[in-house]
Structure 1
C-alpha cells in the first residue's frame, strides 16, 4: 500500500506562510493555506501570485477560511506575528492535528502556548522574509550559510517528528537547522528584532524613508542591542547564535557603521512601507514589553 501523502496546513497567508506554501507545493506535498478576508478571496480567485525576477507568476493553491476539528494535518505551521500567536493557537486548540509549529519570536518561553496546545507545540523560526505588494509576493532569501529555518524540541531531543520535519525541508530544498535550545534562540532573536525594528519605528508618529538613515538611529540600535544582550546573559539565558556574544564587547562605533549601512539598504526601504511598518511596530512593542517583564521575573523582580 502506498504511503499517505504528508498533509500540511499553513495557518497564516502573509509573506512567511505564502513562501512556505509555495515551496512545499513545489516539493509535492498536500498543502492548504488558511487565510481570511481580502487575502482569502484573492487567493481563491487568482491563486498565489509571486514575483519571479520581475515577472508575476501564479500557482493554484488550496485555501480555506474555516478549520474543522477533525480536519487533521501532519504539520500545521502557524505563520503569524508574535502579537497574534496566542489567538492563532486558541483557534487551533481543539483541532486534532498532532504537530503545531510556531514560526515566530517568543521572548518569554513557551509555558503559555503549552497551556493551549500542549506537547503538540514545536517552536521554530523562518529563514527568509519579503513583502506582499498589491497581492503579489516578493520573497527575500538570504544566503543559505547565513540564515536557515530553525526548529527543535523544547527539551532538545531529536525526536521522530523532528526527523520527519527535516525530511520535509530537505524535499523542499529549504535550508534548516535543528536547535538544542529553542528558547535561547528565540529570546536572542527577539532581542535582535527589538533593537533593529525598534530603531526604525519607535517614537515615529509617521513612518518615513528619511528617519532611518541617520547616525542617531544607528546608535540607538547599538545601545539597545548591547543592553538587552547583557540582560539576557545576566538572567542566565544562553546567547544563540553564539556570534552575538561578542557584540557587547565591540566598540560602539563599529556597530554604528554596520547599522548605518543596513539602514540604507533596499530591504529597509521596503520595511518603511506604512502597512508593513505599522504591523511591525505593533509586534516590536509587544516583544519589548513581554521581554522586559520576563527578564524582571528571571532576576527576581
Structure 2
C-alpha cells in the first residue's frame, strides 16, 4: 500500500459492498460503509457479520448514514443494484471525492451517469456474489480464473487512477482485470443476466423450483441469450468475454443441457430464486427496458420481440 493510507467509501452495505469491505479492511485500508435503516443499525451494533467455514465471524467497520460534501475519499465504490444506481450517484453528486467506481450492471451506456458525476465516473463490475440472511453475509466465490472484478476507463486508457485502483486490489489480494471497453463488457453481462434471470420470472411471479428445473425453462434461456447476443452485435457491441461468441455457434441442445444443469444447482435453488423474488426483479426489468432503448437507438430490434 502507498505511504498515504487510501480512504475508501463503500456506498451500499449489501452483499457486494459488505464483501469488498471485509477484504479491504483485512488488507489495512481505511474503509467506511454507507448504510441506511436496519442495516445501518445492525452494522453499528454487531459489526459486519459474515459466515466463514461454518462459523459466524464479525469485523468492526466504520459505518455512516449521511455523507458530507467535504468528506473526501480516494475511491467511492457504488455497490447498489442497477435500478438504484442513478439515485446513488445523485446522492454523491456534490461530494468532492474524485473517483466514483460504479460496481453494477449497465445495459445502455454511461451518458446519464456522466451527466450526474462527470469524469469522476469509473465503471466496474464486481467479482463475486452471495446473500445476507438474518444480518449475516454468506459469500459466494467462484474460481478466480472465471470471475474477477472488472474495471476500466471509458476510453480504454490505463490512467494513473486505474493503476492506483489496481494496487488496491493487489494489496487486498482481490482478482481483477482491466478492460479496454467497459461498455461492451457491461452490456454483454447485462444480456446474460436478462436472459438467465429474466426467465426465472413469469406471469408476474417467480417460477417455482420444479418449473425452474425443466428443459422448457432451459430452452427459453438458450433462445433468449442467442437472440440478445445477436442483437447487441448488430448494434456494434463487441461481445466480451469473447467466449460468449461460442454460444452463437453452439447447438441449442447442448446449451439446453448446460442451463438445465445450472438451474438445478444449489446456488439457483437456495440463493438466486429467493433473492430474485425479494429484490432482483426490479433490476432485471430496468436492465431489459434500457437494453431495448439502447438497441432502438442503434436501429436494432431484438428478434425476441419480433
Counterpart for residue 286 of structure 2: 286
Q: Residue 191 of structure 1: CA displacement?
A: 0.2
Residues 107 and 186 in structure 2, CA contact (< 8 A), matched pair in contact too: yes
Q: Distance in 1 between matches of 2:265 and 2:206?
A: 20
Give the distance between the partners of 2:284 and 2:243, measured in 1 at CA: 23
Gaps spanning 5+ residues in structure 1: where? none
Q: Deviations over 1:186-240 (max 9, x none)?
A: 0000000001101112335255322211111101100000000000001111100
Provide closer, same or farther for how the CA distance between residues 33 and 264 of structure 1 changes in structure 2, counting only shifts above 3 A.
Answer: same
Query: Where do 1:148-297 residues align within 5 Å?
Result: 148-272=148-272, 274=274, 276-297=276-297
Q: 1:206 to 1:247 in 2, by over 3 A?
A: closer
Q: Which residue of 2 aligns with 1:62?
A: 62
Greater mean alpha carbon deviation, residues 201-210 or residues 239-248? 201-210
Q: Distance between the aligned counterparts of 1:128 and 1:250, measured in 2?
A: 27
Structure 2 CA distance for partners of 1:8 and 1:217, relative to 1, 3 Å: same
Cα offset, 1:273, TM superposition: 5.0
- 1:10, CA displacement in angstroms? 0.3
Distance in structure 1 (CA, Å) of the matches to 2:157 and 2:37: 39
**Shift in Å, 1:79:** 0.2
CA distance in structure 2 between the partners assigned to 1:6 and 1:220 by the alignment: 46
**Aligned counterparts of 2:154 and 2:273: Cα–Cα separation in 1:** 35
CA RMSD, Structure 1 to Structure 2 (Å): 1.3
What number of residue pairs does the alignment pair up?
A: 300
Give the equivalent residue in structure 2 for 1:51: 51
2:185–2:239: 8 Å Cα contact kept in structure 1?
yes
Q: Which residue in 1 is equivalent to 2:304?
A: none
- The TM-score with structure 2 as length reference comes to 0.95
Find the residue that maps to 1:210 and give its secondary structure: helix
Displacement after TM superposition at 1:276 (Å): 4.3
**Residues 9 and 45 (structure 1), Cα distance of their counterparts in 2 relative to 1, 3 Å cut:** same
- Decide whether the 8 Å contact of 1:47 with 1:60 is kept in 2: yes
Displacement after TM superposition at 1:271 (Å) = 3.0
Distance 1:273 1:39 in 2: 22
* TM-score under structure 1 length normalisation: 0.97
Deviation of 1:4 after TM superposition, in Å, equals: 2.5
Structure 1 runs (4+) greater than 6 angstroms displaced: none
Secondary structure class of the residue paired with 1:167: helix
8 Å CA contact 1:202, 1:281 repeated in 2? no
Q: 1:99 to 1:113 in 2, by over 3 A?
A: same
Q: What's the CA shift string for 1:92-116, capped at 9, x where partnerless?
A: 0000000000001111110100000
Partners of 1:251 and 1:50 lie apart in 2 by: 41
Distance in structure 2 (CA, Å) of the matches to 1:277 and 1:256:
24
Q: Distance in 2 between matches of 1:273 and 1:222?
A: 19
